[in-house]
Chains A and B, each alone.
Chain A
Amino acid sequence: MTPSAQGTNRAIDVHGLARVEGEGSLHVAVRDGVLERVELEIFEPPRFFEAFLVGRGHEEPPDITARICGICPVAYQMSACAAIEDACGVEVPAEVGKLRRLLYCGEWIQSHALHIYLLHAPDFFGCRDAVELAGLNPAAVERGLRIKKVGNHLMEAVGGRAIHPVNVRIGGFYRAPSREEIAAFIEPLKKAREESLETISFVAGFDFPDIEADYRFVALSHPDYYAIEAGRIVSSDGIDATPMEFAAISVEEHVQRSSALHARLRGRDPYLTGPLARYALNQAKLPQTARDAAAEAGLGPVCRNPFKSVIVRAVELYFACDEALRLAEEYEPFEPAAVPVPPAARAGAGATEAPRGMLLQRYELAADGTIKSARIMPPTSQNQLSIESDVRQVVEAGLDLSDAELTARCELAVRNHDPCISCAAHFLDVSIDRS
């Protein structure tokens, strides 16, 4: 568009926000120089998971819910296991918990490396994709692919497959890998950890818009470690709840523009989950080396600049490599690989930290294990209102930018939160209406 279009009324339409997972659109309207409206519209076709889970068996949600998202299937499997085990009153042995955490680290490594290098970094170089970025900086893209590959291979070794792992079941695993299979990752993880430190320096040098948002952070938190697969749900304004309690205080609204439900907490403002929230709430639980690397990259104890989420993601990438390495070094095979989970006529909930944010599932079971009701709260439907609020701030701060620049910045503001729109319900079109 020509600069003359930048009057006090503006209308920009962009179709196809790329490098996010799923299908949706963004509408921005500016009237008389004032931002009127920002709406993130999700028109990913509804797939009705919560409906067809009803009537299935209590052992089925890990395989079925994995299919909600090809990028974070482990998150779905882990939250499903936690929820069903909660309903059945089963606590899994420590070694199952550790192997789950190792598998989950694999998913964090592959998903964070994918987002940092292939989806997010190209924006900071004015590139349309990682292939173009590879033309400018082949070493960086190749490094990203190498780290990602270690994550994928780790998921294959523990989960049997990187996308929709086959080895996960309620109560544990079908087979615990041998010591050798896991020990084979020690050297690759050391290398990935080193390269993730380089990743932190790489992303810390990006040029970030100077914007801070007043987020309410929500994340899992665990007394002993940086929470991934277990913990209580805490917030920056004092919530401290079990997943079951959190499910009771959160409400999901259905608005016309979206096949994803909008989550909020009763009587409170929107909240944000994901790397920024985890870092703000659990930073003290990161190993010292990760905290040092974060400080060197210029992060304080809390980061409120959504564009800098890429640095936090890189710090978490380092952490996930470090943690996976520790778990791999300590790993001992165990038998049986799973404990029995006899069904109980009760409700239960489970929450874990998907790479892009907290994922909660709640089930109600009949005595024979038949699922009576299912509820799934993916990270992106919880983050949707905060993402809209970020875009509002970006537009208000950028009204003097050209339409092309402003659109690019809005798209980046959405991508900052690594939205998984297939999860939330899913392709983004951006339209900015300034007329």
Chain B
Amino acid sequence: MTMRPTLAVWKFASCDGCQLGILDLEDELLALVGAVQVASFTEMTSAVIDGPYDVSLVEGSITTPDDADRILAVREASGLLVTIGACATAGGIQALRNYADVGEYTSTVYAHPEYISTLAESSPISSYVKVDFELRGCPINRYQIVEVVTALLAGRRPVIPGYSVCEECKMAGNLCVLVAHGTPCLGPVTRAGCGALCPAVNRGCYGCFGPADTTNTASLARRLTGLGTSERGISRLFRTFNSAATEFSKESLEHDA
């Protein structure tokens, strides 16, 4: 029997939605977990095999001192480390704390802030360790997991688009909601991968896949102003699930009244 590569799935601060994407591969799940040896995946199995692991999928952002240590151990035990989702690649929605005073946040939510151990910022995994490949999205597109695992098994680089949502929106045959309806849309600066879901329901893209490889956020912001979007509105649009991604962070600060 040939040795199957070992796969581990790790969770940091997140909603579990990206790893749930793996369990949502109803048609591929049994084939996928047959092609690799699942060595650690707490949401799916009680079985744990000690490292090292050929591939680690990491979900979630780093928000606590303990997690800042734990990611070093995960990196140490992993051959390839792939981050999955907006939290792991761009800090996630919880990176909104990066624009506020985390001490105030703690006392807003908790009666005993002294029991809570947390870092001032929510940071992507790449802020702490070397990352070999990043999958974007809040949540990821589950078929991109299949592509990543398939590519790794075949020893090639995964084919994941870096162009904008506009391209896949055109391919999907959607009407442009920005041009036709004047709906604020982040499609021109957002990475493809979702399948242009929001324009398909007459909604502007809200940027959940984070910035595309090349972006001109300032130009889009001018267009949004022309459509009547307020400064605060523009700042909020760029400041959601990928607010710690450099391009989005920068543009949100430009409009932060």
Contact = CB atoms under 8 A, between A and B. Distances in A.
Given A45-B64, A50-B109, A16 B42 contact: yes
B52 interface: no
A339 interface: no
B208 interface: yes
Contacts of A52: 93-94, 96-97, 100, 105
A141 B96 CA distance: 40
A63 B42 contact: no
A128 B33 CA distance: 14
B165 interface: no
A70 B139 contact: yes
Contacts of B115: 254-256
B13 A47 contact: yes
B168 to A, nearest CB: 14
A63 B67 CA distance: 26
B20 A71 contact: yes
* Residue from the set A141, A163, A255, A261 with the largest chain B CB neighbour count within 10 Å: A163
Interface string B103-114: 011101111100
Contacts, number: 184
Interface residues of B, number: 64
Contact of B108 (A20, A50, A118): A50
Nearest to A258: B115
Contacts of A149: 26-27
B206 A160 contact: no
Given A163-B17, A175-B201, A48 B45 contact: no
B44 A19 contact: yes
Contacts of A49: 93, 109
A422 B16 contact: yes
A129 B64 contact: no
Nearest to A63: B206
A64 B93 contact: yes
B193 to A, nearest CB: 12
B110 A254 contact: yes
B108 A64 contact: no
A60 interface: yes
Interface in A283-301: none
A51 B118 contact: no
Contacts of B16: 21-22, 69-71, 422, 426
Contact of A70 (B20, B97, B105, B202): B20
Nearest to A118: B23
A145 interface: yes
A148 B14 contact: no
Contacts of A161: 139, 194, 197
Interface string A145-189: 110110010000000111110110100011100000000000000
A332 to B, nearest CB: 18
B12 interface: yes
Q: Chain A contact residues: over half helix, strand or loop, or mixed? A: loop
B236 A60 contact: yes
Interface string A110-129: 10001000100010000011
Please tell me the size bucket of the interface on A: 35 or more
B179 interface: no
A148 B26 CA distance: 8
A382 to B, nearest CB: 16
Contact of A73 (B17, B97, B102, B110): B17
Given A167-B203, A422-B15, A129 B46 contact: yes
A366 interface: no
A67 B203 contact: no
Contact of B43 (A21, A148, A173, A174): A21
B191 interface: no
Contacts of A34: none
Given A57-B236, A162-B24, A128 B46 contact: yes
* Residue from the set A47, A68, A160 with the largest chain B CB neighbour count within 10 Å: A47
B62 to A, nearest CB: 9
Given A19-B45, A48-B105, A427-B11, A167 B201 contact: yes
- A-B residue pairs, 5 tightest by C-beta: A70-B17, A129-B45, A51-B105, A52-B96, A149-B26
Given A57-B233, A152-B26, 17 more contacts: A44-B13, A47-B13, A47-B122, A48-B96, A51-B104, A52-B105, A60-B236, A67-B17, A67-B92, A69-B15, A70-B139, A73-B17, A131-B33, A131-B44, A146-B26, A161-B194, A259-B110
14 contacts: A16-B46, A19-B42, A46-B110, A48-B94, A48-B108, A50-B108, A67-B93, A129-B45, A131-B45, A173-B201, A174-B203, A254-B112, A422-B14, A422-B16
Interface of B: 11-21, 23-24, 26-27, 29-30, 33-34, 38, 42-48, 63-64, 67, 92-94, 96-97, 100, 102, 104-106, 108-112, 115-116, 118, 122, 138-139, 194, 197-198, 200-203, 206, 208, 233, 236, 240-241
